[in-house]
Amino acid sequence: MKSRDWVRLFISTLLVGGISTVILGFMIRWSEYQSLFIEGNVVEILSVMFWLLGVGFIFSVISQMGFFAYLTVHRFGLGIFKGLWKPVQIILIVFVLFDLVYFRYQWFADADDRLLSFFLYPGFLLVFALVVAYFKAKETNKEAFIPALFFMIVVTTIEWVPALRANEESWLSFMLLPLLICNSYQLLILHRLIKKS
């Protein structure tokens, strides 16, 4: 792939992260920002938009760092594990999903919290990842399904760690959704850029 394609991927992912975070930020925290729109406070709305855009750029850069790290790890995995790389990825996916439920429950559950409520984010992550992996495999080949699933679940979870440690409900979804959008965008656009160049 040519260097200008990498630059195009970087800038477009940056924009995807920034714009999606602005939209999702207003949606997720609507109760906080609703009064600004009711009052018609344009200066405050614009300042919030620029703040959300900046945060979205940060999420996008985190996503891109994870993506390039994954591309390297994937090459190493293929070289070291050879035919076993696919089962290793499946084991890691299961391990990460289990940890998202078990460790969050152990660390953050209150006395009245039910274990079932801690399945919400891992379940959503799994469904989202399955959809993206399906389209990746459909657009390329069936061998791409497990690597795409691994990237969307394992790498996204690693990128999501700051929000997981804080465990504040609004930040969990506020960070996860832009990361998922950026990661799926990069995953689904990469083969098109390679084919084009």
> pLDDT 10s per residue in the chain (197 long)?
678 888 889 999 999 999 999 999 999 888 888 887 777 778 888 999 999 999 999 999 999 999 999 999 999 998 998 889 999 999 999 999 999 988 888 887 776 777 777 899 999 999 999 999 999 999 999 999 999 999 999 999 999 999 988 888 888 889 999 999 999 999 999 888 888 76
Q: How far is CA 126 from the centre of its chain?
A: 12
25 domain residue, yes or no: no
27 domain residue, yes or no: no
4 domain residue, yes or no: no
34 domain residue, yes or no: no
16 domain residue, yes or no: no
Instruction: Retrieve residue 116's tokens.
Output: 């079932």
Structural domain containing residue 177: 58-196
What is the rounded distance in angstroms from the CA atom of residue 77 to the CA atom of residue 73? 6
Q: What's phi and psi for 94, nearest 5 deg?
A: -60, -45
C-alpha count within 13 angstroms, C-beta hemisphere, residue 69: 14
Instruction: Tell whether the torsion through CA atoms of 161, 148, 177 and 52 is positive or negative.
Output: positive
pTM of the model: 0.91
Number of domains in the chain: 1
C-alpha count within 13 angstroms, C-beta hemisphere, residue 41: 11
20 domain residue, yes or no: no
Instruction: Retrieve residue 190's tokens.
Output: 């990469």
